[in-house]
Structure 1
Amino acid sequence: MKTTVGLLIAIVLSLSVLTMQPIAAADVPNTTSADAPVVVCTTSVLSSFVEAIAGDLVNVTTLVQPGVCPGHFDIKPSDVSAVSMASLVLYHGFEPWLQNLIAASGNNDVNVVTVSGPWNTPAFGLSYAKRVADALMATFPEWNATFAENNATLTDNIQSTAEDILDEIAPLSPENYNVTCMEWQVAFVKWLGFNIAVSYPSEESLSTADTLRITEASRGNSCALVIDNLQSGSEFGAQLAQEIGAVHVVLSNFPDAVPGTHDYCSLLTYNAEQMIYGMNTYLDQRGQISELQNALRTAQDLNMALGATTIFLAAVVVVEAVLLHKRRQ
């Protein structure tokens, strides 16, 4: 990988020399000003916090597309170019390719900050916001007042979004339902109030024995939902839900992976809406099944009543026949 990245940066530099122009920033997305400093984020969740706190004071580049697992990423020349111009790089710590990318960029002055740990509950999101704000303040101290004000606004938005979500899901009584959940979404689903009866790792690490164990445990716990994580694959969860008669729900770990999730708060809202829709679907299905069962029981009761009436009438006919026979004698 290091050799490949080195070759890419060499190509970029060679093209710059040939055209007698500096390395262009045309491939850097979200540009707000040509003179603004560049902040590179490995994922869209980090970018969403930077954009909320720094606004248009900086240019933000997101390296990994939000629908892709950051562990599986192929570096492009534009990524090398972006890092070469960056004042700050933010990453989670699970990107094995990042150090090679920074070395290949030749940028020895960049401030590289790790913002690690989960982020998919409001409490985790507030922690991320603080650490991103701290990194921005350390790198660009001249704008600390703006960063502090914007972070306060972001904090209020996260807290109000969390309150709205819990108010909306409370009538469904999630604590009464067991679910099966991909491990990267467990924290969020627990925060909503559901019981995590079974959890499972990414699809690529599942063995046949794991699949059988998860299926039996999910069926045995009467799990209402099977909850997948979009970026780690959803085929296993779909098959499992069909196998046990549950509803399949797919959540996202990163903003912008699906329409309407342009920032952190909208991602929380989207994931909560998917869970609420899944529960309503499950309850509707249970209601339809209950109606069918009631209709079946009614039909069986009618059938039994009809059978009893038939037997009674047959007995009456027999008795009448016997009495008629005796009278004739």
Structure 2
Amino acid sequence: MSSMPGMMRSPTFREPEQDSTGNRAAVSHWHSTLRISGMKSILRLLLVAVLAGCAPRPAPRVRVVVSTTNIGAIVAAIGGSRVQVATIAPAGICPGHFDIRPSDVVVASEARLLLNQGWEQWFPKLLQQAGNSRGVAVTCTTPGNWMVPPVHLKAAAEVSGLLARVDSAGATVFASAARSYAARVESIANEVQGMFRGRALPAVIASAQQSPFLEWLGFRVVATYGRPEELTARELMELARVALDSGVGLVVDNLQSGPDVGKPLAEALGVPRVMLTNFPGTEGYPQTLIANAMTLRSVLE
């Protein structure tokens, strides 16, 4: 059948003519060459398959559930690709006042390591509902405010050890990552303190959650306050009196405690007010530390 116009013709392979002894030898050599070439191709494929089977497979990531971004930021930085971290309480809300969700129970039931800071009243309920008998639940023992660099570094050393506890094969990796992370945090912390060193810093009234960080930077905190539901009219008047007596020049709110708690006080005093976060955001601890410092510096210029 002749090909229709426009259709592609299939390639045609012709063997050498077999009308003489020389031609028959050529045909035999041609067949032999094809067999050898085919065997080499098969051997190559077998070799690739064997090597692929022998190549080390990546270890499954350790599932870690943490109560706060304080812990989560450290786990992510030190654990790297060896961990899969799930943070229960988002950075923008107070982890002490949090309602667990069904999805939180699911991830907790599948975790190999479950970490909290000890003051999350909902965490025992999460563990109970998760019913995870194979997971290791640990309350971190590093005291203090984890947003303050020296405290954060102690917490990082503790978390590194906890990761090695459930993934001993990765202990060396975790230790190395912890050293690199500590060096980075120390470097940034020095830069942040340098932003305020030598400046005439104003006296401050601040959220109790921000007081340790402000004092680490060199500010003099003359009084603190708590959450809005804890602040009575009498306490507000007392804060105003202290502020006037101390020449307060700045009010610092804490995002997770309620962003506008100090607003009436700042307006009454006629001084600037800023809001800082007490928990790392999704960008990690170092960047959150820088962001807090930049916010503070902006009101001093």
Structure 1-normalised TM-score? 0.71
Selected match of 2:291 from 270, 275, 285: 270
1:148-297 alignment to 2 at 5 Å? 148-174=175-201, 177-256=202-281, 262-280=283-301
1 CA distance for matches of 2:61 and 2:229? 41
Alpha-carbon displacement from aligned partner over 1:272-300 (angstroms, at most 9, x marks no partner): 111111222xxxxxxxxxxxxxxxxxxxx
8 Å contact kept, 1:43–1:63: yes
Is 1:112–2:133 an aligned residue pair? no
State whether residues 120 and 188 of structure 1, in contact with CA within 8 Å, keep that contact through their aligned partners in structure 2.
yes
Equivalence map 1:102-141=2 (5 Å): 102-116=127-141, 117=143, 118-141=145-168
Aligned to 1:48: 73
TM-score (norm. length: structure 2): 0.77
Measured in 2, the distance between the counterparts of 1:274 and 1:34 equals 42
The aligned counterpart of 1:74 is 99
How far did 1:236 drift?
2.3
Which has the larger share of helix? 1
Shift of 1:109: 2.1
1:86 aligns with 2:86: no
State the AA in 2 paired with 1:265: P
- The Cα offsets for residues 50-91 of structure 1, whole Å up to 9 and x where unpaired, read as 011010111100101111111211111111110110000111
RMSD: 1.5
Deviation, 1:170, is: 1.7
Q: Aligned partners of 2:60, 2:283: CA distance in 1, in Å?
A: 25
What amino acid sits opposite 2:158 in the alignment? R
Residue-by-residue CA offset, 1:19-38 (whole Å, 9 max, x unaligned): xxxxxxxxxxxxxx994221
Which ranges in structure 1 are unaligned for 5 or more consecutive residues? 1-32, 281-329
Asked whether the 8 Å contact 1:225–1:279 carries over to 2, the reply is no
Separation in structure 2 between the aligned mates of residue 125 and residue 206 of structure 1, nearest angstrom: 29
Assess if the C-alpha contact under 8 Å between 2:62 and 2:167 holds in 1. Answer: no
Q: Percent identity?
A: 32
What is the alpha-carbon distance in structure 2 between the residues aligned to residue 220 and residue 271 of structure 1?
A: 27
Unaligned stretches of 5+ residues in structure 2: 1-57
- Counterparts of 2:175 and 2:195, CA distance in 1: 30
* Alpha-carbon contact 1:80-1:104 (below 8 Å) kept: yes
Look up the SS of the partner of 2:96 in the other structure.
coil
Whichever of the two has the greater Rg, that structure is 2
* Conserved 8 A contact 1:226-1:249: yes
